[in-house]
Chains A and B, each alone.
Chain A
Amino acid sequence: MNIFRLTGDLAHLIAIIILLHKIWKSRSCAGISGKSQVLFALVYTTRYLDLVTSYVSIYNTFMKFVFLATSYATIYLIYVKFKATYDHNHDTFRIEFLILPSLALALLINHYFNFLEVLWTFSIYLESVAILPQLFMVSKTGEAESITSHYLFALGSYRALYILNWIYRYATEGHYDLIAIVAGVVQTVLYCDFFYLYITKVLKGKKLQLPA
């Protein structure tokens, strides 16, 4: 464990809590892409199946349960409890175009061809594009509430910090995982234009307006 990965996991946890809190407090999921949340739940479910087979640390096990529980709780709030506020018309990204290619790629490019490893690889590829429905929705509505942009900033920062963690681990332990690194770079690059808007606008108190 290193400071980059720790702050990355913390940013990830903060992002999830910001979102859950926003939906719960405002009793509304307006502006939130349920499809992205479904993809995240799929990512954690396929990645954390090893909860039953391998034990890394109490921290690792605890965080896996937290990510699984919060992602399903978020889906419950969006699709059940506050489904009246779910914005169907703007959450229209075809997620099968993300799931199927990720699965195909996981079957072709992986470290080992066994069930858990292919699912882990699938979850890595899927996570790199899971935010697209949300970014697509923000671009369609042309704007995002500031709390949603804080959520996106924390979520984007988590994988950016993981990149620093991978550099650090390669430098200190000689450990590297190219699949995670390439997917993590793609994932972070997808946030770049949002990061730019967030830093130049939201931090100056302006609303996040995306050129529609």
Chain B
Amino acid sequence: PQVVEDHDEL
């Protein structure tokens, strides 16, 4: 699993 690139959560 990779750390999130862009934040897709609110």
**A→B interface (CB under 8 Å):** 5, 9, 12, 47, 50, 54, 56, 60, 63-64, 67, 111, 120, 162, 165, 170, 173-178, 180
Contact = CB atoms under 8 A, between A and B. Distances in A.
Given A56-B6, A180-B9, 16 more contacts: A5-B9, A12-B10, A50-B6, A50-B7, A56-B8, A60-B8, A60-B10, A63-B10, A111-B4, A165-B9, A170-B1, A173-B1, A174-B1, A175-B4, A176-B3, A177-B3
Contacts of B7: 47, 50, 120, 177
Main SS of chain A's interface residues?
A: helix
Nearest to A8: B10
A182 B3 CA distance: 14
A175 B10 contact: no
Contacts of A47: 7
8 contacts: A9-B10, A47-B7, A56-B6, A162-B9, A174-B2, A175-B1, A175-B4, A177-B7
9 interchain residue pairs of minimum CB distance: A174-B1, A177-B4, A56-B8, A54-B6, A63-B10, A111-B3, A9-B10, A176-B1, A120-B7
A175 B3 CA distance: 7
Contacts of A63: 10
Contacts of A60: 8, 10
B3 to A, nearest CB: 6
A178 B1 CA distance: 12
A162 B8 CA distance: 13
Nearest to A178: B3
B7 to A, nearest CB: 6
